[in-house]
Structure 1
Amino acid sequence: MSAAETAAETSPARSRIASLDVLRGIAILGTFASNAWLFAVPGGALVWFAGGLGPQDPVEAGLRLLSNGKFLALLTLLFGVGLELQYRAAVRRGNPWPGRYPLRALILFAEGLVHYLLVFEFDVLMGYAITSVLVAYLVGRSDSAVRLWMRTVGAIFVGMVLVLTALLVLTPDGPAQPLAVDPAATASWTAQVADRVQYFLLFRIEIVLIVPSATVLFLVGSRLLRAGAFADTEVGAGIRKRLMIIGLGVAFPLNVLTTFGGADWFLVDRYLLPPLVALGLLGLVTSIVVRSRRELGPMRRGLAAVGRTALSCYVLQNVLAGALCYGWGLGLAARFADARPWWVLGLWAGVCAVLVVAASLWLRRFDRGPLELVMHRLYAPRRASVAAEKG
Structure 2
Amino acid sequence: MRIHSIDAVRGLAILGILFMNITFHQNGYANYAFFEEPLLSDTVISLFNTLFLDGRFRSLFCLLFGAGLAIQFEACEKRGQHFLDFSQARLKWLFVLGLLHGVFIFSGDILLYYSLCAFFILKHFTLPQDELKKKSIHYLIVGSAIMLVGGLVMAFVFDMGAELATRPSETFNEEVALWQSGYLTQLGIQASFMLSTVIVAPFTMLWQSMGLMMFGAYLYRAGFFNHGFSSLLFKKLVLVAIVTSIITALPQFLFEQVTLDVIPMFTSIPAIFCALVYAHLLINIRHTAAWWYQSLINCGKVALTLYLTQSIALAVLFRIVMPAYFPNFIYSVTLLDLLLVTIAFTAVQVILANAITKHFNQGPFEALWRKMYLRSFHKKQKLKHDEKEQLTYMDEV
Q: Check 1:169–1:280 CA distance in 2 against 1; reply closer, same or farther (3 A cut).
A: same
| Aligned residue number for residue 47 of structure 2 | 62
Counterpart in 2 of 1:311?
Answer: 304
Indicate whether 1:46 and 2:40 are aligned: no
Alignment counterpart, residue 196 of structure 1, candidates 179, 186, 190: 190
- Identity level (%): 21
Separation of aligned partners in 2, 1:318 and 1:258:
31
Cα deviation 1:185-206 (Å, max 9, x = unaligned): 2353333113223554345556
Work out whether 1:165 is the aligned partner of 2:151: yes
The alignment status of 1:220 with 2:205, answered yes or no, reads no
The 1:333/1:34 distance shift into structure 2, 3 A limit, reads farther
State the alpha-carbon separation in 1 of the partners of residues 327 and 253 from structure 2: 25
Residues 207-263 of structure 1, C-alpha deviations (whole Å, 9 max, x = no match) = 33332221100111111112221224xx85448725742554443333433554544
Preserved CA contact (<8 Å) 2:25 2:315: yes
Please, what TM-score do these two structures have when normalized by structure 1?
A: 0.82
Deviations 1:303-350 (A, max 9, x none): 111100011111111211221122x33336841643412211111012
Q: Which residue in 2 is equivalent to 1:91? A: 77
What secondary structure does 2:322 align onto? coil
Q: Which moved more, 1:350-359 or 1:264-273?
A: 264-273
Give the Cα separation in 2 of the matches to 1:220 and 1:47: 34
- Choose from 219, 226, 247 the match for 1:231: 226
Q: Note if 1:298 corresponds to 2:291.
A: yes
Q: 1:179 aligns with which of 171, 184, 190?
A: 171
Structure 1 residue aligned with 2:136 = 150
> Which piece of structure 1 moves more, 246-255 or 18-27?
246-255
Larger radius of gyration, structure 1 or 2? 2
Are residues 1:22 and 2:8 paired?
yes
RMSD: 2.9
Find 2:107's aligned residue among 121, 146, 160. Answer: 121
**Are residues 1:352 and 2:352 paired?**
no
Residues 107-132 of structure 1 deviation map (CA, whole Å, 9 limit, x = unaligned): 00000000001111111111110111
- TM normalised by structure 2 equals 0.80
Secondary structure of the 1:230 match is: helix
Native 8 Å contact 1:52 1:179 kept in 2: no
More contact order relative to length (CA 8 Å, sep ≥ 6): 2
CA offsets per residue over residues 63-109 of structure 1, 9 Å max, x none? 42232111111111111111111111111223232232111110000
2:66 aligned partner: 80
The aligned amino acid for 1:29 is L
Call closer, same or farther: CA 1:149–1:26 in 2, change over 3 Å.
same
Q: Determine the C-alpha separation between the residues in 2 that align with 1:148 and 1:229.
A: 17
Moved more, 81-90 or 134-143: 134-143
Partner Cα separation in structure 2 for residue 239 and residue 334 of structure 1: 52
Letter in 2 for 1:45: G
Please say if residues 229 and 239 of structure 1, whose CA atoms lie closer than 8 Å, have aligned partners that are also in contact.
no
Asked if the contact 2:7/2:300 (under 8 Å) is kept, the reply is yes
What is the alpha-carbon distance in structure 1 between the residues aligned to residue 218 and residue 133 of structure 2? 10
Other structure's SS at 1:380 match: helix
Matched to 1:125, the amino acid is L
CA distance in 2, matches of 1:102, 1:36: 31
Q: Find the aligned partners of 2:45 and 2:107 in 1 and give their Cα distance.
A: 22
19 and 152 in structure 1: CA distance in 2 versus 1, 3 angstrom threshold: closer
Distance 1:155 1:339, change over 3 A: closer
Partner SS, residue 371 of structure 2: helix
Task: Give, in whole Å, the separation in 1 of the partners of 2:146 and 2:364.
Answer: 38
Go from structure 1 to structure 2 and tell me whether the alpha carbon gap of 1:199 and 1:378 turns closer, same or farther (over 3 Å shift).
closer
Question: Which residue, 270, 281, 288 being the options, matches 2:285?
Answer: 288
The structure with the greater share of residues assigned to helix is 2
Residue correspondences, number: 358
Check conservation: 1:244, 1:281, Cα contact below 8 A. no
Letter in 1 for 2:30: V
